[in-house]
Amino acid sequence: MKKRQIPYIAAMALGISLAAGCSSNFLEVRPVGTNLESNYYRDATEAFNGLIAVYDVVGYQSSGYVTKTGAMDAASDDHLAGGGGPGDVSEFQVISNYSLAPDQGPQEQLWRKGYAGIFRANTLLTKLPGVPMDENLKKRFVAETKFLRAFFYFDLVRLFRNIPLLTTPVATADMYNVVQAPPADVYNLIIQDIKEAIAEPNFPDQVNIATDGGRATRGAAHALLGKVYLYQEKWAEAAAEFAEVNGTPGQPNGKYGYNLVAKFEDLWNRSSNKFNTESVFEVAFSSLSGGDWGCVSCTEGNVLNIMVAPRNYIANKPGAPSVYAGWSFLVVTKSLFDAIHFDPRYKATVLNMDSLSIDSTALYSKGYDNTGYFLNKFIAKTTDESKGPGAKPLNFPQNLYEIRLADTYLMEAEALVKSGQSGAAGTRAYQLLNAVRGRVGLSPVDATDDNIFRERRLELAGEGHRWFDLVRTGRAAAVLGPKGFKAGKHEVLPIPLLEMENTKIEQNPEWK
């Protein structure tokens, strides 16, 4: 990958357009650099395009195939980097074996994603007051933008901890003088932004998914605020936010429309189940963008689909899965396989090529780190092949859940138990945990911290949550130690090396 000559904070000050992947199905116009020029935002249409530009960064995919979900999966105990060899997508390799360094790893792209989104959000918030448009619609745009700015800052502060806090576009004269803020100040802004979005009457409780699927809602804001409080160990506050989202466990939430999808496997139906009742905040991808090899980061297709599929896959006998041959990244570890093998979610989560190849039902080439087990939730299927222009491997349409209801059920149960409440039969924590288990036919268990944590691993496997869960609960060193994780160092990522060249940004103490 070509090296940049200026850090991303500087790039923002200079108005350089930072390409990003698709984030919602209301993206009809792909914003480009001209959307950020000083003469833009002249009417409601241009303000809307500016809002699309902010959403666009949620689904960021780098030209080197780095995504947040992929990087966090590689870092966890549930996956190995995989691919074609030890240098294939090196960002995944070095975070998977914990040999990353300030100039090697996915942190450059994760930092870029966060600050690209923040720059676009700050630009829009600065411009919106002067846009001649309906005031109620403007207030909705402001609420959505503040939600998104909080979303980007939350990712950044939990990945890097010590980050710059920017609330307005950076002037060119100031671009090398940006400093980091105390993490508490970042969290305060995140909470303020989310609360202001929630309080805005024009911020909707639900949206029409046919036209606005992917746009933030008040329910998504409550869920994000609950996660923020969970990270701060404010258990009662977190539980209250999640309760607003979750309603009565196992029953539809009349205000926001949320309900657990009846069949777990239906969550991974790529064409007919987008923006389902379990989706709280979702990133949408399309097979029709025409994304091609000349600009991987420009595609609106989901690159994870081709990345995690088995290498040189061949359906050799009737009944073989309809899998598209891929690149064998993020292979499932024996540890996760053993944990989930006899769980009802196993087949929807894991494709067992080891078993299929024994009797030649399906054949594949063993890639790097091969275990024989692949992430079935995201594997490219031949039934999902792009019918549009562009390179088929880059244009698979499966959406990704940033937050879904089973996740918020389990987070509320955790917050209740950690606040000191009982998780025995009949309690709310018990009902929340066992609504998730009952959906797949599992018998009830008490809502203990260990039981909830174990359930999160099996329910959310491969969705990018495991590493964050291990770190925030203090389990990372014990679980990830065999992969090279060092306590007191790897709980945060290093600040990308280039961000510190000729700037006042300082490296995290763990990485000096």
Residues 408 and 506 placed together within one structural domain of the fold: no
Q: What is the pLDDT at residue 6?
A: 54
Evaluate whether residue 273 is within a structural domain: no
Q: Which range has the top average pLDDT, 122-126, 294-298, 382-386?
A: 122-126
* Token pair 């995290």 in the structure block, residue: 508
Provide the residue range defining the domain that includes 94: 8-256+492-511
State how far the Cα of 21 lies from the Cα of 184, in Å rounded to an integer: 30
Given a cut of 90, whether residue 12 has pLDDT beyond it is no
Q: What is the pLDDT of residues 371-417, one digit of tens each?
A: 999 999 999 999 887 777 899 999 999 999 999 999 999 999 999 99
Query: Which residues are CB-neighbours of 386 under 8 A, at least 6 positions away?
Result: 287, 288, 301, 392, 395, 396, 397
Evaluate whether residue 33 is within a structural domain: yes
State how far the Cα of 378 lies from the Cα of 309, in Å rounded to an integer: 8
Mean pLDDT rounded to a whole number for the chain: 92
Residues 15 and 82 placed together within one structural domain of the fold: yes
State how far the Cα of 355 lies from the Cα of 336, in Å rounded to an integer: 16
Residues 500 and 452 placed together within one structural domain of the fold: no
- Write the CATH number for 449: 1.25.40.900
Residues 57 and 133 placed together within one structural domain of the fold: yes
Evaluate whether residue 286 is within a structural domain: no
Q: What is the pLDDT of residues 147-204, one digit of tens each?
A: 999 999 999 999 999 999 999 998 878 888 999 999 999 999 999 999 999 999 999 9
Q: At 120, give phi and psi (nearest 5°).
A: -65, -40
State how far the Cα of 485 lies from the Cα of 488, in Å rounded to an integer: 9
State how far the Cα of 42 lies from the Cα of 292, in Å rounded to an integer: 32
Residues 472 and 500 placed together within one structural domain of the fold: no
DSSP string, 202-213: TS-SS--HHHHT
Evaluate whether residue 279 is within a structural domain: no
Which token pair is 31?
A: 């914003």
Residue 446: enclosing H or E segment and its boundaries? none
Residues 435 and 502 placed together within one structural domain of the fold: no
Given a cut of 50, whether residue 47 has pLDDT beyond it is yes
Nearest CA among 67, 105, 96 for reference residue 307: 67
Domain count, the chain: 2
Phi-psi group of 104: left, alpha or beta (phi > 0 → left; psi -120 to 50 → alpha; rest → beta):
beta
Evaluate whether residue 356 is within a structural domain: no
Evaluate whether residue 366 is within a structural domain: no
Q: At 186, give phi and psi (nearest 5°).
A: -65, -45
Residues 238 and 202 placed together within one structural domain of the fold: yes
Q: What is the pLDDT of residues 211-221, one digit of tens each?
A: 999 999 999 99
Nearest CA among 237, 239, 219 for reference residue 279: 219
Helices vs. strands in the chain: H and E counts, helices first: 19, 10
- Write the CATH number for 162: 1.25.40.390
State how far the Cα of 91 lies from the Cα of 108, in Å rounded to an integer: 9
Evaluate whether residue 250 is within a structural domain: yes
Evaluate whether residue 414 is within a structural domain: yes
Q: What is the pLDDT at residue 33?
A: 43
Q: What is the pLDDT at residue 14?
A: 44
CA 379 to chain centre: 17
Which token pair is 304?
A: 């994870």
